[in-house]
Amino acid sequence: MIRPHWQIVERTKPSNVQEVLEILLRNRKATSSFLNGTLKDLEPYLTVCGMNRGAQLMGRHLSAGNKIVLIGDYDCDGITSLAQMALFLNDIGYRNYEVAIPKRSEGYGIPKGIAKAHPDARLFVAMDCGTLDAKPVTDIRSMGADCIVIDHHEVPEKGLAPASVLINPKQPTCHSTFKEFCSSGLTLLFLTRLRRALSHPFRSPSLGGKYLALAAIGTVADMVPLVEGNRILARSGLSSINAKSYLPIQKIADTAGLASKKSLSAGHVGYYLGPRINAAGRMADARIAFDLLVSQHPGEILRLAQELNHLNAQRQNAEDLILRSIRERLAKISTPRRTMVMADAGWAPGVIGIVASRIQQEFHYGPTIVFSVDEKEGIARGSARSIPGFDIHAALKDCDEFLIKWGGHKMAAGMTVSMEQMERFARRFEAVAQEHSPDIFVPKARVDLELNLDLVSRELLDALALLEPHGLGNPTPTFAARRVRLSVKKVFGREQNHLRLLLNNCIEGTFWRGAQEYAQGNWREDTPLDLVFQAEWDDYSNKPVLNVKAVGHFLPD
């Protein structure tokens, strides 16, 4: 594992908690609205191009009683978008609709045969897909039906699907200043406009509660920046989740072992709830997750939540197998590379995206692409994850001649390549990376400020809570301390790879995956050491603890 270069953003050392909060806000270029934004502050974000026009079009189809087909991608963002739309139609008493979710084996996007499968439908609404699906959207339009696309993927210079209305803030004609909503967030904003477009006899449902919870889960799970409108959606949605009024999410949390938690954070959504919703599409059928999210029957909700938990365990096992295989292959590579492209027929296609993320983080290849090979068809479907400074979408554009199809955004993408072209693609991809500055391939990690350990208290944790939820654009506050004396209290974990530490003889900490460094003698207990950490409140012991990120002699002067 490559040790990052730690960079301290703020050199001023605070003497009290208020100064800590001021520095953290300054580091994030945040104003008071960052802390106090409410749902009313979402109004300016409703200027996304197509929002009003799409709502009016769907309103006309609802008034006419036309059959509607709802299409959602098979990941968490797509499923939470689809669930919101279906719940809205249920809440207004509209039943003339069907739901279509592509199988992962069909590939990303609107299913190609969707128009033939629903010849009597007059409106198709695609969420988290559709921007690039020119053929199926053309087929829909050619049979006289309308198609509304609610999507957030990159918009190409050519090949744009001919949707009746495209709601995507990344299209050049969109004047919205904020471009980073995921589809789940856009769907909730769209529903606020659709509610206004409804006419008699439809009632106007409240869009709090379950809608906010779903928008928050999709936003956190899709790893869009948690700033501006996304931050408001995530904060409000987490409040709805913690109110425990939406039984499907409550049961997913309970089966994930979170029943005893007083409140759930964005971290819980990202590590426990989102992966379980994703597990349905990765390991079986995304319809399982959708059915759970729209169900009103407690028995069915519990059964489906348990099924998601089981599928998530399968996902974790499949992921571990691939990770071990890739680590073994990497250990045999002696030629320095800036990218990693690996493929195997035995790798489960549903987990390659997660594996790519973990490998990229562990070894800092920039970027990483993991392929699952379909030997029968002679193709490989891959998932890519990148690093700051390397635009994966632009890189794939430079490799377009070797790809059957591809799509995504700056930090993540998916693609399909024939096995005959795999080696040429990998060489070209590496060549594109070699054209970049070498500096971006040096792993860097950010420390907000130096902090005396005696400032870690309940007061500090309460102040840090004001900055939640954390994610891209608003990272968890990270601190550094110098000349810390520590002792190892315990080595633990299934593989005995984690450490329980006592720091300065006053506060406990956990150094996840730190046992190997300690065993190799990279640092000694009896020597004052540098420490990088995050602070957390432990409900069990009712005191603060440290989540240790690094130990050693590495902080810059």
C-alpha 80/C-alpha 110 separation (Å) is 16
- What residues contact residue 113 under an 8 Å CB cut-off, 6+ apart? 136
Query: Other C-beta atoms within 10 Å of 465: how many?
Result: 11
Long-range contacts of 303-308 (CB under 8 A, 24+ apart): 305/248, 305/251, 305/252, 305/254, 305/255, 305/276, 306/255, 308/252, 308/255, 308/276, 308/277, 308/279, 308/280
Q: How far is CA 221 from the centre of its chain?
A: 3
- pLDDT given for residue 32 in this prediction: 64
* Closest by CA position to 315, among listed 76, 2, 73, 1: 76
Q: Which helix (H) or strand (E) segment is 345 a member of?
A: none
- What residues contact residue 513 under an 8 Å CB cut-off, 6+ apart? 1, 497, 498
C-alpha 184/C-alpha 226 separation (Å) is 13
What one-character-per-residue DSSP string does 412-461 give? EEEEEEEGGGHHHHHHHHHHHHHTS-GGGGS-EEEEEEE--GGG-SHHHH
C-alpha 204/C-alpha 197 separation (Å) is 10
- CATH fold of 333-441 reads Diaminopimelate Epimerase; Chain A, domain 1 (3.10.310)
DSSP H stretches of helix in 65-173: 76-91, 114-117, 134-142
Q: How far is CA 311 from the centre of its chain?
A: 19
Q: From first to last of its 557 residues, what are the pLDDT tens digits of the chain? A: 567 788 899 888 899 999 999 999 999 988 767 888 888 889 889 989 999 999 999 999 999 999 999 999 999 999 999 999 999 999 999 999 999 999 887 777 899 899 999 999 999 999 999 998 999 999 999 999 999 999 998 887 777 899 999 999 999 889 888 999 999 999 999 999 999 999 888 988 999 899 999 999 999 999 889 999 999 999 999 999 999 999 999 999 999 999 988 889 999 999 999 999 999 999 999 999 999 999 999 999 999 999 999 999 999 999 999 999 999 999 898 888 999 999 999 999 889 999 998 898 887 778 899 999 999 999 999 999 998 889 999 999 999 999 998 887 788 888 999 999 999 999 999 999 999 999 888 888 889 999 999 999 999 999 999 999 998 889 999 999 999 999 988 899 888 889 999 999 889 999 998 888 888 887 888 789 999 999 998 888 889 999 999 998 877 76
* Closest by CA position to 416, among listed 400, 431, 432, 428: 400
C-alpha 307/C-alpha 313 separation (Å) is 10
DSSP 350: G
Between CA 470 and CA 479, with CA 473 as vertex, the angle to 5 degrees is 65
Return the CATH class of domain 5-34+444-552: mainly beta
Does the domain at 39-309 match CATH 3.90.1640.30? Answer given as yes
Token reading at 179: 């471009």
- pLDDT given for residue 2 in this prediction: 62
- pLDDT given for residue 1 in this prediction: 56
3-state helix, strand, coil in the chain (%, to 5): 45, 20, 35
Q: Which residue has the tokens 């053929």?
A: 135
C-alpha 234/C-alpha 220 separation (Å) is 7
Note whether 231 and 36 are within 8 A (CB). Answer: no
For residue 273, the SS3 value is: helix
Token reading at 293: 């999210």
Q: What are residue 329's phi and psi, to 5 degrees?
A: -65, -40
Whether the full predicted model's pTM is greater than 0.75, yes or no, is yes
Q: How is the chain split into domains, by residue range?
A: 5-34+444-552, 39-309, 333-441
